[in-house]
Amino acid sequence: MTGKTMRQIILCACVYGLLGHATSAAATASQIRPQTSPPNLVQNAGFEQLNDSSWGSCGNVQLVDAQSDGAEFVHTGRYAAFMGAGANSDGCPQLPDFTTPKQILTQQIDIPADAPAVTVSFWFRAFAGTTVDVFLAQGFYMFDPNLGGVRLGTFSTDQPPGWQLYRTVLQGERLDRVRGRTLRFSIVIQSRFDVGPNAALLIDDVQVIAADGRTTASPLPPALRGDGSRPLAVTRVDNNQRHWLYRMDTDGGNVQLIYRGLLDNVRSPAWSPNGQRIAVVDNNLWPPDPQNSLPASALTVLNADGSGVQQIYQTQSRRGSSCPFTGPPDQEEPSLILTASEVQWMPDNERVAFTRGARNQWCDPLRTVTGLADILLVAPPSLLTTPLALFARLPSISRDGHMLFTSFDLSPSRSNRADGVWERDPGGSETRLIASNADRAPAWAPDGRRFAVARFTTSPSADVSDRPWAIMIYDRQNLDNPRMVLFADHGRSVSNLSWSPDGAYLVYSLERFDGRRDIWWLDVATGATGPVTTDGSALEASWRPGAQQQQRVYVPLAVR
pLDDT in tens, 60-92: 999 999 998 778 899 999 999 999 999 999 999
Q: Is the dihedral of CA 422, 458, 36, 78 positive or negative?
A: negative
464: pLDDT strictly greater than 90: no
Q: How far is residue 223 CA from its own chain's centroid?
A: 25
CA distances from 309 to 272, 277, 383, 542 (A): 14, 10, 16, 18
47: pLDDT strictly greater than 60: yes
Reported as a single tens digit per residue, the pLDDT across 465-492 is: 578 999 999 999 999 999 999 999 999 9
Query: For the chain, what's the residue count?
Result: 560
Reported as a single tens digit per residue, the pLDDT across 101-133 is: 999 999 999 999 999 999 999 999 999 989 999
Q: Each residue of 465-497: b (16+ CB within 10 Å) or e?
A: eebbbbbbbbebeeeeebbbbbbbbbbbbbbbb
Give the pLDDT confidence score for residue 546 in this predicted structure. Answer: 84
Q: What is the mean pLDDT of residues 496-518?
A: 97
Query: H helices then E strands: how many in the chain?
Result: 5, 35
Note if the bond before 197 is cis, omega within 30 degrees.
no
Q: What is the mean pLDDT of residues 142-147?
A: 76
Least confident range from 29-38, 119-128, 412-421, 438-447: namely: 29-38
DSSP 209-242: ESS-------PPPGGGS--S---EEEEEE-TT--
Q: Quickly count: other Cβ atoms within 10 Å of residue 60's Cβ.
A: 22
Q: Quickly count: other Cβ atoms within 10 Å of residue 30's Cβ.
A: 13
Rounded Cα distance between 418 and 400, Å, is 25
Give the pLDDT confidence score for residue 85 in this predicted structure. Answer: 93
Give the pLDDT confidence score for residue 129 in this predicted structure. Answer: 87
560: pLDDT strictly greater than 50: no
Reported as a single tens digit per residue, the pLDDT across 189-243 is: 999 999 999 999 999 999 999 999 999 999 999 999 999 999 999 999 999 999 9
Q: How far is residue 451 CA from its own chain's centroid?
A: 13
Rounded Cα distance between 386 and 375, Å, is 9
Query: Greater confidence, 37 or 520?
Result: 520
Reported as a single tens digit per residue, the pLDDT across 336-361 is: 999 999 999 999 999 999 999 999 99
| SS3 at position 282 | strand
Give the pLDDT confidence score for residue 146 in this predicted structure. Answer: 74
Percent of the chain with pLDDT over 70: 88
CB 51 within 8 A of CB 101: no
Note if the bond before 324 is cis, omega within 30 degrees.
yes
Rounded Cα distance between 548 and 227, Å, is 10
Q: Which part of the chain has CATH 2.60.120.260?
A: 3-209
Give the pLDDT confidence score for residue 71 in this predicted structure. Answer: 82
Query: Greater confidence, 364 or 11?
Result: 364
Q: Which amino acid is at 103?
A: Q
Averaged pLDDT score across all residues of the chain:
87
Give the pLDDT confidence score for residue 15 in this predicted structure. Answer: 35
Rounded Cα distance between 110 and 184, Å, is 8
Q: Which of the four pLDDT bands, split at 50, 70 and 90, describes residue 383? A: confident
What is the rounded (10 degree) CA torsion for 386, 392, 395, 400? -60
Reported as a single tens digit per residue, the pLDDT across 14-33 is: 333 332 222 233 334 444 54
552: pLDDT strictly greater than 70: no
Give the pLDDT confidence score for residue 19 in this predicted structure. Answer: 27
Give the pLDDT confidence score for residue 413 in this predicted structure. Answer: 54
CB 129 within 8 A of CB 158: yes
Q: Which of the four pLDDT bands, split at 50, 70 and 90, describes residue 96? A: confident
Give the pLDDT confidence score for residue 409 in this predicted structure. Answer: 67
Strand 385-389 and strand 469-475: the pairing is: unpaired
In 3D space, the residue among 310, 250, 215 whose CA is nearest the CA of residue 498 turns out to be 250
State the CATH architecture for 3-209: Sandwich (2.60)
69 φ, ψ (degrees, to nearest 5): -120, -5
Least confident range from 128-137, 252-261, 407-416: namely: 407-416
Count of CA atoms in the C-beta half-sphere (13 A) of 341: 13
pTM for the predicted model, two decimal places: 0.90
558: pLDDT strictly greater than 80: no
DSSP tag of 481: E
Least confident range from 145-149, 229-233, 325-329, 359-363: namely: 145-149
3: pLDDT strictly greater than 70: no
Q: What is the mean pLDDT of residues 418-442?
A: 86
553: pLDDT strictly greater than 80: no
Q: Is the dihedral of CA 29, 475, 223, 251 positive or negative?
A: negative
Q: Which part of the chain has CATH 2.120.10.30?
A: 222-321+334-543
CATH 2.120.10.30 fits 222-321+334-543, yes or no: yes
Q: Each residue of 145-169: b (16+ CB within 10 Å) or e?
A: beeebbbbbbbebebbbbbbbbbbb
Q: Which amino acid is at 144?
A: D
2: pLDDT strictly greater than 60: no
CB 272 within 8 A of CB 343: no
CB 273 within 8 A of CB 279: no
Q: What is the mean pLDDT of residues 419-423?
A: 90
Query: Greater confidence, 35 or 200?
Result: 200
Query: Greater confidence, 176 or 36?
Result: 176
Q: Which of the four pLDDT bands, split at 50, 70 and 90, describes residue 9? A: very low
DSSP tag of 413: H
435: pLDDT strictly greater than 50: yes
Count of CA atoms in the C-beta half-sphere (13 A) of 439: 29
